[in-house]
Amino acid sequence: MDFTAQLAQIKPKLGCVDDNLALIEERIGQARTAGADLVVFPELAMTGYFLKDLVPEVARRLDSPEIARLVELSRGISIAVGFVEETSDYRFFNSALYLEDGAIKHLHRKVYLPTYGLFDEQRYLARGERFRAFDCKFGRMGILICEDMWHLSSSYILAMDGAATLLCLSSSPGRGVEGETLGSATAWQKLTATTALFLNCRVLYCNRVGYEDGINFWGGSEYIAPSGESVVRAGLLEEDSVNALVEEGALRRERIFSPMLRDENLCVTMQELRRIERERRL
């Protein structure tokens, strides 16, 4: 079915859960007023990104009042949002929730935690262990959190699991310069376009903005059609919200015109991966 998704390119405050929750609630209201069916927020929208030792302080369990409030708000609009999750055994995950009709429809825990350069996630967070597609009122979807998307197997697994739409929640810092734009922006635009094109899927990418510890986040949230075309893109380095009309017809046309997903041979892929695994054990 056709649906309208709003990409809420916000500027969270580091460690300020109450302030960020108020901002998220405000943007949810704006998205509903704008006629959106789904609103997508960035990675760690409830907490900010460079948390370090703040992780236990800002983490919330799934039964917390803050999550319950967002679940209630999803009765009027579907919501995808990032936060730090605390489990009953006191582990902490960089997680994303998909909320719909007053319920938690899906939880994804970030699998690939960058721990290089300016990133230090694995020092403070536990790793997720799976990628799963899920059904919602807009069809079958999958969620990736930032670095997850840079591993080709992540998107591939979700596509093989039937996801026609990939939601990528991101906190990508601005790095490098290419002509008149940021190198990180150019790299992400290539990645999302290539993923959509080769997997015949839609990509809704939501990145944050603002500064933390002198590091900026560049924004540039966008909707990529199954053809690899950028349909709508938010501004760089500023708070923004953009609506994307996600049309079922565009997915149908692309899968007829370029049926790469149809022709993908999962059995061959599994066979060769098992062979590689066996050989690595020798």
SS3 per residue for 169-216: EECCECCCEECCEEHHHHHHHHHHHHHHHHHCCEEEEEECEEEECCEE
Percent of the chain's residues with pLDDT above 90:
95
**On the CB side of 69, how many CA atoms lie within 13 Å of its CA?**
14
Amino acid at the residue 73: L
Q: For the chain, list residues with pLDDT below 50.
A: none
The tally of domains found in the chain comes to 1
Nearest to 252 by CA among 275, 234, 225, 273: 225
Q: Which stretch of DSSP H or E encloses residue 132?
A: none
**8 A C-beta contact, residue 116 and residue 79:** no
Residues contacting 32, CB < 8 A, separation 6+: 76, 77
Return the pLDDT at 59: 98
Neighbours of 75 (CB within 10 A): 12
CATH number at residue 147: 3.60.110.10
Return the pLDDT at 179: 65
**8 A C-beta contact, residue 165 and residue 137:** no
| 152-160 helix and 183-199 helix, angle to the nearest 10 degrees | 30
The one-character DSSP state at 245 is E
- Rounded-to-integer distance, Cα 108 and Cα 103, Å: 15
Domain that holds residue 198: 3-281
